[in-house]
Amino acid sequence: MLWEKHEVTTKTLDTSTSGISAVVGVGHTDWVEDYRRVRNGEKPYDSSGYAALAFKRALDDAGLKRDDIDGLIVGPTTAYERMGEILNIDPRWGGQADAVQAVFQAVMAIKAGMAEVVALVYGNDQRSAAVQYGGPQAMGGGSFLSYVYHSPWGLTSQGALYALMFQRYKELHGLTDRDLGQVAVSQRQWASLNPNAIMRNKPLSLDDYLAVKYIAEPLRMNDYCLINDGGVALIIMEAGRARKCHAAKAVTIHGLGRSDLNHNATGLGPRLVDFYLPAQRGAAEQAYAAAGVGPKDIDALLVYDSFSPHIFFALEGFGYCEQGGAARFIAENGIGVGGKLPVNTHGGHLSESYMQGWSHQIEAVRQVRGGLGDRQVADCRHVQYVSDVAGKAMSIIYGR
């Protein structure tokens, strides 16, 4: 199923969250410097410290004061109450969420009249704290993440799960390692133009990519996200107030979409049978209906990319190409610098910074605002963010 320009398949979806909120401020820490210092054995901040610095920069970007904030959402790597204490904020509405759900919650709080100016704050010291994302102590050894359910069989690595998922996809559609390598190479191209990208000065050719040994076949090191410390913050405001006071910087949230696959999730059914496709199509339908656009209207696509196969599944699930056609789409159209569909124009998690989806929101805002030099997508009016983490497919459409 493909979505044609401005075509939607249902008129029964609730689109009332469209256009009621706008991002007016963004901020982040110095990921490149943070990475250098941590590698040298320093620990500049803990998670809360990184978040506080990003928050201060987002306030400055928006031209706001701390007292203007009446809503607070913090990332899952920090405690909500403690973060509010550090920032000296007593909001009338607040909570804790990951990147994409934080945006959803902020929009819904504004719609409900519970807040007008919501700060979304995230900090993570994952590298300096030596957080394990695989092995017997993965994320503390708890069972709150889907991949830890498989620890009795030794399958605790997210990379191994995506390797298993992509191996089946690869065999079904007759792909090669060179097809997969297009993603890492394209995103490194974008990173080379981004002063905030950790891998900016490390070129990657397809031959370079293929020369690296597998970590979990068919995934190589450059198919994996970075692990680094840092912080991110966004300020989301009621749209009328944003247009009145922050028109030059306001970027409107035009569409939201979400659809989950929970049935047989711990048995890997949604991954290995459908590659999350039904959930992605459901989320896409909602987001496109709300925004009144389709894939052909999108100027840049930002995909949650803890591993490179995410890009293949997103292109198909969100209607950019037919099922099984992602490799051909990438080869024929291009997703890197000069390509017809710019994807992860900051370098993504693979080459810019692993901020668990938060940095993608900043890139969406900056592309719509413009002024990014060689990295800028020409006449960028609509940017779509998508994620498919553990069967939860979500999408946000940002625009002018």
Is 1 among the domain residues? no
Is residue 255's pLDDT more than 50? yes
Average pLDDT in the chain: 92
66 in a domain, yes or no? Answer: yes
- Looking at residue 141, what is its pLDDT? 45
For 168-226, the pLDDT digits (tens) are 999 999 999 999 999 999 999 999 999 999 999 999 999 999 999 999 999 999 999 99
Q: Given a cut of 80, is residue 273 above it in pLDDT?
A: yes
pTM strictly above 0.85: yes
State which residues form the domain around 86.
21-129+228-238
What would the pLDDT profile of 285-325 be if each residue is shown by its tens digit?
A: 999 999 999 999 999 999 999 999 999 999 999 999 999 99
pLDDT at position 391, please? 84
Residue 72, domain member (yes or no): yes
Residue 56 in this model has a pLDDT that exceeds 70: yes
Whether 56 and 66 have beta carbons less than 8 Å apart is answered as no
How many residues in the chain? 400
In a domain, 108, yes or no: yes
pLDDT of the residue at 139: 59
pLDDT, average across residues 140-158: 64
The answer as to whether 29 is a domain residue is: yes
Alpha-helical (H) ranges within 88-176 are: 99-111, 158-173
Task: For residue 270, name the pLDDT band (cuts at 50, 70, 90).
Answer: confident
Residue 232 sits in a domain whose CATH number is 3.40.47.10
Question: Which of 25-34, 141-150, 373-382 comes out lowest in average pLDDT?
Answer: 141-150
Strand-pair category, 71-74 with 117-124 = parallel
Residue 102 CA to residue 77 CA, distance in Å, equals 13
Percent of the chain scoring above 70 in pLDDT: 92
Q: Is 70 exceeded by the pLDDT of residue 242?
A: yes
Q: What is the Cα–Cα distance from 59 to 70, expressed in whole angstroms? A: 13
Residue 51 lies in a domain: yes
pLDDT at 40 over 70: yes
User: CA-to-CA distance for 142 and 85, rounded, in angstroms?
Assistant: 27
106-121 residue pLDDT tens: 999 999 999 999 999 9
Q: Check whether the bond before 195 is cis (ω within 30° of 0).
A: no
Pinpoint the alpha helices (H) of 117-266: 158-173, 177-191, 206-211, 239-245
The yes-or-no verdict on residue 277 having pLDDT over 90 is yes
At 344, give phi and psi (nearest 5°): 50, 65
Q: Tell me the two tokens of residue 257.
A: 């979409």
More confident site: 133 or 244: 244
pLDDT of amino acid 267: 80
b/e string for 197-230 if b means 16 or more Cβ within 10 A?
A: bbbbeeebeeeebeeeeebbebbbebbbbbebbb
Asked whether residue 85 is assigned to any structural domain, the reply reads yes
Q: Does residue 84 lie within any of the structural domains?
A: yes
Query: How many domains does the chain fold into?
Result: 1
Which amino acid is it at 368?
V
Residue 5 in this model has a pLDDT that exceeds 60: no
